[in-house]
Amino acid sequence: MSSTKQRILEAAIELYNTKGVGNVTMRDIAASVGISPGNLAYHYKNQDFIIEAIFRQMKNERDELLMGVQQIPTFENINRQILPLLETSRKYLFFHLDTVHLIRNYPVIARLQQSYYEDSINYVHAVLDYSVGSGNLQPEQHEGQYKRLAHTVWMLTTFWLQQLAVRGLKELDNDQLRMSIWDLVLPYLTDKGRHHFQRILQPTVPGLQKQNTEARQS
């Protein structure tokens, strides 16, 4: 990608994140980059092409983060990638805050976004299945249980930043997302899974080691 094209995408991301997609024009983006609207149109015919290019950039960055987890989806690898994935979501905040607007007004983006969401749910489901096979999660108690759990985890991670905006919170302890995900999974852990879980989180959760010791003694 040429440097001008990358500058255009970076300027568009900043404007979309701060003003919202519906409030940004091609002229705004051109002015932010310091080029003429005609020069901007030479690189990207309209905002559909800009948003699609940004989406593909976001997806590539996310896929790169998940590559290691996909190969070996251990609890350690999963836990390590939660916060980097959240930071990627922050970088492309407008995709989360303007989801409905994008789906309604940009058909190509709607299809890409919906496919991206389904892939994300299937990815979480595959990780849960792997954890059952590795002995960290109990087998399903009801058919489709982990598919529904995967859907719930996806909703939590996908709309985390949106709920911050709705509540008027600019910042929230990032570990709350990580712990919220583990809270969903915790009831289904085997003894082996609980051991791995405790080993991962003891350094970051105050009092957890003490709680574990007391639980073993009771």
3-class DSSP assignment, residue 137? strand
Q: Residue 26: give the domain boundaries.
A: 1-45
Contact 121, 158 (CB under 8 A): no
pTM above 0.85, yes or no: no
Tokens of 161: 């930043």
Alpha carbon distance 149, 137 (integer Å): 12
Q: What is the pLDDT along the chain (218 residues), one digit of tens a residue?
A: 579 999 999 999 999 999 999 999 999 999 999 999 999 999 999 999 999 999 999 999 998 888 866 667 788 888 888 888 889 999 999 999 999 999 999 999 999 999 999 999 999 999 999 999 999 999 999 999 999 999 999 999 999 999 999 988 877 667 888 899 999 999 999 999 999 888 887 655 444 444 444 434 43
State whether 34 and 67 are in the same domain: no
Contact 65, 81 (CB under 8 A): yes
State whether 7 and 104 are in the same domain: no
Alpha carbon distance 46, 58 (integer Å): 19
CA dihedral 15, 96, 119, 134 (to 10 degrees): 120
State whether 39 and 80 are in the same domain: no
State whether 28 and 92 are in the same domain: no
Residues 6+ apart with CB under 8 A from 85: 62, 65, 66, 157
